[in-house]
Amino acid sequence: MSETTLEQLCRLYTDLTDSDIRILEETAKTLPMYAELSDSYMFIDCMMKSSGQAVVVAEALPRTPEAAYKESVVGKIVFETFEPGVHYSHRTGKKSIRHRAITQEGKMVEQSVVPIRNDQHEVIGTLIMEAEIAGSFHKVNERPNISFGSKALGNLLADTFDDYPIVTDLLREIFLVTDAELRLVYANPAGVRFIHEMNEAEDIQNQSILTLLPFLAQILDHQEEVFISEVSVASKTLEVKKVKMHSKTNELKGILFIIQDLTELRTKEKELLMKSVVIKEIHHRVKNNLQTVASLLRLQMRKGFPAESKSHFEDTLNRIFSISSVYEMILANEHADEDDVDLIKLTRKIGSTIVLNDLNQKVDLIIEPNGNKILTSSRKAVSIALIVNELIQNSLKHAFPGELSGRIHVDFFSRKKFAELHIHDNGVGMAGAAYSLGLEIVHNLVVNDLAGEFSYKNVESGTYAAIAFPLSPEVVIHYEKTDSDR
């Protein structure tokens, strides 16, 4: 069975499942009937997986002598600027009824949009009904002209000026409208200021738009009815939207330009990028400095030291490695400006290295996330890394004397507003929690850095350490799964 056009477009542009596509295909079969019944244009749009725009995957047109669409728009991109109702319904799952929109061919239509849902009530597409706006409307009170060319704008957008209130005067975007000969016939206040800033001409009304703003020539070179491009002019970054305006006989009436100054936005983006680069460089330096300290300690160990000092050097090296692991994971993030650390991946990295380095023991390390993914800030991650290091080291040192084999379990739980980390072994256990520098480090980090609680649980065999700390903007659980008490 060959794929339909709808199926091909969905597989090419979207992440929809096979069952989602089947639902859309069944809906598409009804479009011709509704188009004839309502004398309207019917479409199905789906969100694209990468661009954030929508794509038309199906259409049905009524049999009318004058069509608003001269060509099929299946496969065309739907920009939010011109059809906001479509994107609104995709985002919110709500209907958008009788809103104005601009078609792919630059014509004004009245549009109603209804979301299409799958069996899980997820929005997988939108059903759109469009009717071309009629030429006669009831007359409304005339509104005062604030900027030049308001009547010309009304004539270009509709058959009578009174059909549309001139709201562009209130917008920050630059609105410019030309006639068919590219003479400037309308500019809102932002547009007037922009032209005077870019051109010293005093009289701009009815002047050639290319004389006033030569950079628009590259936009006009594109023959599409609706075209959007970002251009750089005189140290400014501009987003320019071009819409060709046609009469009902498909005669070109003029061109609408909507220009947005993105200079400040792009400048801030560059500043953020630079900040991200600087932060990443700092992380690199911290990691490298920690590795240098570790190298110096190893050098000292090779040069010789008292036998009773060996364990202290090894403990210090493991603590340095634990902190360094945090920065390695931050630097491995795809986005340089993110310093979130996956706590479970960090624990795997630290625990596995400690166990593998202890060649004298046969101990299995079992890490169980229990369906949770816990992200922490770098600051919290350093504390948790040291805690994990100390507790696993304690088990390796004291739970399995001689060559006794065993298991160390590390479990993560989520209970209401708390994250919990449990580390327990099946070793010989301990009569009581004797004082040690490692346990003091753990206690101080849990209480002071994590605002949590640290305790040992009574178990029949082995040792069971439990840590609980509250969730916060710096500690977030994803894919949360509530676990029953042990």
If you average pLDDT over residues 400-426, what whole number do you get?
87
* Burial status of residue 304 (CB atoms within 10 A of its CB: 0-12, 13-18, 19 or more): exposed
Q: pLDDT tens digits, residue range 301-314?
A: 777 767 777 777 77
Domains 150-261 and 340-486 belong to one CATH topology: no
Among residues 148, 102, 81, the alpha carbon closest in space to that of 245 is found at: 102
The architecture that CATH gives domain 340-486 is 2-Layer Sandwich (3.30)
Pairwise pLDDT comparison (421 vs 279), residue with the higher score: 421
Residue 76 predicted with pLDDT over 60: yes
Q: Where are the alpha helices (DSSP H) in 332-433?
A: 343-357, 378-398
CATH class of residue range 150-261: alpha beta
Task: Please give the pLDDT value at position 440.
Answer: 87
- Alpha-carbon distance 283 to 277, whole Å? 10
- Alpha-carbon distance 144 to 175, whole Å? 18
pLDDT band at 157 (very low <50, low <70, confident <90, very high): low
Task: Please give the pLDDT value at position 103.
Answer: 61
If you average pLDDT over residues 233-250, what whole number do you get?
86
CB contact at 8 A, 179 and 185 = yes
pTM, to two decimals = 0.45
Pairwise pLDDT comparison (20 vs 67), residue with the higher score: 20
Query: Considering only 241-250, 310-319, 335-344, 387-396, which range has the smallest mean pLDDT?
Result: 335-344
Task: Please give the pLDDT value at position 143.
Answer: 34
Pairwise pLDDT comparison (280 vs 181), residue with the higher score: 181
Task: Report DSSP state, residue 137.
Answer: -
pLDDT band at 20 (very low <50, low <70, confident <90, very high): very high
In which element (H, E) is residue 209 found?
Answer: helix 209-212
pLDDT band at 276 (very low <50, low <70, confident <90, very high): low
pLDDT band at 178 (very low <50, low <70, confident <90, very high): very high
Task: Report DSSP state, residue 473.
Answer: T
pLDDT band at 106 (very low <50, low <70, confident <90, very high): low
pLDDT band at 151 (very low <50, low <70, confident <90, very high): low
If you average pLDDT over residues 229-248, what whole number do you get?
87
Task: Please give the pLDDT value at position 261.
Answer: 87
Mean pLDDT taken over the chain: 79
End-to-end CA distance of the chain: 54
Pairwise pLDDT comparison (287 vs 386), residue with the higher score: 386
Q: pLDDT tens digits, residue range 359-405?
A: 556 788 899 988 888 888 888 888 898 899 889 888 888 888 777 78
Got the DSSP string for 223-263? --SEEEEEEEETTEEEEEEEEEEE-TT--EEEEEEEEEE-H
Q: 321 phi and psi, to 5 degrees? A: -60, -40
Among residues 360, 361, 433, 419, the alpha carbon closest in space to that of 391 is found at: 433
CB contact at 8 A, 290 and 327 = yes
How far is the CA of 432 from the CAs of 388, 398, 402, 443, in angstroms?
A: 20, 12, 20, 15
How far is the CA of 279 from the CAs of 285, 299, 341, 376, in angstroms?
A: 10, 30, 15, 17
Show me where the domains of the chain are located.
5-132, 150-261, 266-333, 340-486
CATH class of residue range 5-132: alpha beta
Residue 353 predicted with pLDDT over 90: no
Task: Please give the pLDDT value at position 152.
Answer: 56
Residue 144 predicted with pLDDT over 60: no
Task: Please give the pLDDT value at position 141.
Answer: 36
